Amino acid sequence: MTAEATAGLENSALAIAAAGPRPWSLPRPDWRPLLLGLGLPVAAALAWEALVRSGLATGRLLPPPSRIAVTLWKLARTGELWPHVGATSGRVGLGFVLGGVAGILSGLAASYSPLFRRLVDPTLQGLRAIPSLAWVPLFLLWLGIFETSKVALIAVGVFFPVYLGVMGAVLGVDRKLVEVGRIHRLSGLDLARRILLPAILPALVVALRTGLGLGWMFVVAAEYMGASEGIGYLLVDGQQLGKPDQIIAAILVFALLGKVADAAIVALATPALRWQDAYQGGR
């Protein structure tokens, strides 16, 4: 290395030392994906508002966004909305935990035991095709009209996609990865922790997101079962009283809660999936 190059490196090092440590700061969030995702619904809402205000549409059966916003504001200001949000979120949360845990355990059992898979899986696949409303009279008869039947119905909706996703993910693990673990004499627990779990984790996250989405769908049927509070109760109340603005407001609350819950799962799973070098869809 020449004397000039050595002197340049020394000067750079001295300059960095004189500047001191850089102040620590949080990474700036990128709001562009959020703004881009809001573009289509906001544009559609503005267009419908303009059509109603210009007299080209009546807005009787599909109220303009301004009326829906006023309805939501009234429900929130009077405090009527929050007990309904809490009741529905609690039911979905408990049903998601119960159905998710049962789906994971059953999926693992079906993937590890061919006997269990041949014995149980055909029945579960048949039950999976039953619509949510078909369970309602049976659960009312078995469990009554209180919270137990509602949570059970939501858990059923969560269970099937999680079960199917976990079983398919484990059965789809590359056999060579398992053989490498056995060559290195990994125990059963180490094999599951270091090879199987990372291999199935992306599919498990997708299965949980799908199950959570079905949980939000099943809660509507659950809250038709004699509920006195919940977002589904607001839907029924709006239908019986002829309030389309309340119905659409309740649907928007469902959409917002579902999106927040899905984003929470993605945020919790992201640190565990940083190792993925996957195709990003055009990037």
pLDDT at 98: 96
pLDDT at 278: 66
Angstrom distances, CA of residue 223 to CA of 94, 134, 135, 150 = 14, 14, 13, 7
Torsion of CA 253, 257, 260, 263, to 10 degrees: -120
Q: What is the CATH code for 64-273? A: 1.10.3720.10
Which residue from 123, 97, 127, 121 is spatially nearest to 109, judged by alpha carbons?
121
pLDDT at 9: 42
Averages of pLDDT over runs of 10 residues in the chain (283 residues) are: 49 45 51 73 87 85 89 91 93 95 92 89 90 84 86 93 92 80 74 78 92 91 80 88 90 92 90 72 58
- C-alpha 165/C-alpha 208 separation (Å) is 8
Burial 89-113 (b: 16+ CB within 10 A, else e): bebbebbbebbbebbbebbbbbbee
Domain boundaries, the chain: 64-273
pLDDT at 208: 94
pLDDT at 282: 57
Six token digits for residue 155: 């858990």
Which residue from 202, 117, 218, 232 is spatially nearest to 159, judged by alpha carbons?
218
- Containing 167, the helix (H) or strand (E) segment is helix 147-171
Q: Is the pTM of this model over 0.75?
A: yes
What are the counts of helices (DSSP H) followed by strands (DSSP E) for the chain?
12, 0
